[in-house]
Chain A
Amino acid sequence: MEEVEVGCARPTGGPVGETVEEPKEVVQQTPKEVTPMIKVGKKAPDFTAPAYHQGKFGAVKLSEYLGKWVILCFYPGDFTFV
């Protein structure tokens, strides 16, 4: 095994060799789903997510925090360096 320098992004793999031909789509699909854009001054999309907090597993729903200020942070992965 060759040692790989690990950066901040999670190392990923994938299929190698000849590319497998993906079956051609016969029928034009319905228009691609539009990714909602986040805009300042507009409502944040609500979501629910599994959570770990102070020794307990649970779930957090963004709308449960209505009435409070929220800082929602995303990051590349646990045990990363930055």
Chain B
Amino acid sequence: MSIDSVFVHKMWNDNELSKMVNGGVPFPMLSDAGGRVGKVFGVYDEDAGVETRGRFIIDPEGVVQGFEVLTPPVGRNIMESIRQVQAFQLVRNSKGKEATPSGWKPGKVTLKPGPDLVGKVWEVWKTEMAFD
């Protein structure tokens, strides 16, 4: 979503992005004239008249599970966003019985919070795992 019109979205997709991604952008490109939606999400920069790089993960209930906002010159890490969605999905599927520690990736050890884990995290989770 940006403040550009859908016509500009079309030109950008058809003339440039489709040369980077086969078939063009696979998801809807949204237009937010005047930054009305961006204001509500706290990402509209009034002075520059543009939206900053906000990214929101919204779960199937419509609840915001996480967000990240960067100023324009620094791009995002898409794999990190995907990893976070995978982590939230795991937690949701476990009905909250499992949690994903720092550095978690699919297939790695999860934590099962409860009385037995208090003071014992060091036994199941090693510091190196945060830097994998």
Binding site for B on A (CB under 8 A): 7-10, 12, 35-47, 49-54, 57-58, 60, 62-63, 65-80, 82
Contacts of B26 in A (CB 8 A): 54
Knowing A9-B50, A69-B57, A74-B38, say if A52 contacts B10 (CB, 8 Å).
yes
- Residue in B closest to A63 when the chains form the complex, CB atoms: B62
Write 28 A-B pairs (CB below 8 A) sorted by A numbering: A10-B49, A10-B50, A38-B56, A40-B64, A41-B63, A43-B64, A44-B41, A44-B58, A44-B62, A49-B31, A49-B37, A50-B5, A51-B28, A51-B30, A53-B27, A66-B62, A69-B57, A69-B85, A69-B88, A71-B58, A73-B54, A74-B38, A77-B3, A77-B50, A79-B8, A79-B12, A82-B53, A82-B75
- Residue in B closest to A41 when the chains form the complex, CB atoms: B63
Contacts of B66 in A (CB 8 A): 40
- Main secondary structure on chain A at its contact with chain B? loop
Q: In the complex, A69→B13 CA distance in Å?
A: 24
Q: In the complex, A30→B58 CA distance in Å?
A: 33
Binding site for A on B (CB under 8 A): 1-6, 8-13, 16, 24-32, 36-43, 45, 48-67, 72-76, 81, 85, 88-89
Give which listed residue, B2, B37, B85, contacts A77 with CB less than 8 A: B2
- Residue in B closest to A67 when the chains form the complex, CB atoms: B60
